Amino acid sequence: MAKAKIFVARAVFPEIVEYLAQHFEVQSNQSDQVLNKDQLAQHLADKDGAFTTGSDRIDGELLAACPRLKICANMAVGFNNFDLDAMTARGVLATNTPDVLTETTADFGFALMMATARRMTESEHYLRAGKWTKWSYDMFAGSDVHGATLGILGMGRIGQGIARRGAHGFGMKVIYHNRSRLDAATEAECKAHYVSKEELLKTADHLVLVLPYSASSHHAIGAAEIGLMKPTATLVNIARGGIVDDAALAQALREGRIAAAGLDVFEGEPKVHPDLLTVPNVVLTPHIASASVPTRLAMARLAADNLVEFFSKGKALTPLNPQALAKH
């Protein structure tokens, strides 16, 4: 039987491409050219499956041009690059990479919160610029993390990982808000208390955003929400760009309405709102929360295994829309 044809939309570990090549006829974008919508559609027009990343948009228009496509395996836990309804309607299975990145991403969220609270980027820039000539009592004095109130908006697996780190490692009081409340055992394990969004905003010393992006979470944090936060509070976004109104945040940081922010994701990334590049009290990183070598390898392997499982057994390990299979 002819091998299924797969397109790997972005560069990925060579050993993963080799692994895929053992099972499929593989075309891979190892030069890592970022493909526009038309180029992606051209590559996928004669393919049975796609290995995608969060920057590859799969929607109804693209699917209409790619009639053979049966599965898109995203190398990411987030899947806001997929129009799931359109994929399901066409019987195209979508998969993501949950679990394998949870602890690595929680590590990063916690690190970004600490760097933000303790002004690490701002002070490093000062030092590198040769401005450090003497000790002073309040030089880059920030806020404490230990014993502070950690607020988490979006309490899925990664949010819970951050809660456990804060509660058990740093003696933080943990409060959270989520679409649905966690069961009592998980709340107890995370030492987390459910509160309204308003109370979360008003009470947290350090607020970390870990909710998925959707039309309903667009600008979940804007000027009004920031206005409820303590002037000493910090805000960290490791979720998705678009959840925070970046222009409103930059203005709030400039005006000192909150103390500082740590951002790993941005509206319209890889572009960054120019005002965020000029305010000092923000730590900026280029969407790397899951980027440890073992975790990125595990994500790539899981995405590849979803393709292998699908073409060999007609199902997937981590499907997002299993109902698409009924259309086959």
Q: Which residues bind ligand DGY (CB under 6 A)?
A: 54, 76-78, 101, 290
Instruction: Report the 10 Å Cβ neighbour count for 180.
Output: 7
Instruction: Closer to ligand DGY by CB, 78 or 91: give it.
Output: 78
Which one, of 83, 71, 101, 135, lies nearest residue 312 by Cα? 71
- In the complex, the smallest distance separating the C-beta of residue 239 from ligand DGY, rounded to whole angstroms, is 8
Q: What is the DSSP string of 249-304?
A: HHHHHHTTSSSEEEES--TTTTS--HHHHH-SSEEE--S-TT--HHHHHHHHHHHH
Comparing CB distances to ligand DGY, the nearer of 77 and 233 is 77
The residue (of 229 and 300) whose beta carbon lies closer to ligand DGY is 300
Judged by beta carbon, residue 77 or residue 236, the one nearer ligand DGY is 77
Tell me the residue nearest to ligand DGY as measured from the CB: 78
Catalytic residue check, 287: yes
Nearest distance from residue 138's CB to ligand DGY, in Å? Answer: 36
Active-site residue flag, 269: yes
Catalytic residue among 90, 219, 287, 301: 287
The residue from 118, 240, 273, 296 that is catalytic is: 240
- Name the residue with tokens 């496509």: 69
Specify the 3-state DSSP secondary structure of 22. Answer: helix
Place of tokens 């990982």: 161
The sheet that has 49-52: what strands, in order across it? 25-28, 5-8, 49-52, 71-74, 93-95
Asked whether 155 and 182 are in contact (CB, 8 A), the reply is: yes
Q: How many CB atoms lie within 10 A of CB 194?
A: 15
* Min dist. Cβ of residue 48 to ligand DGY (A): 24
Instruction: Catalytic residue, from 269, 273, 296, 309: name it.
Output: 269
Q: How far is the CB of 204 from ligand DGY (least distance, A)?
A: 22
Q: Is 68 a catalytic residue?
A: no
Which are the catalytic amino acids? 240, 269, 287
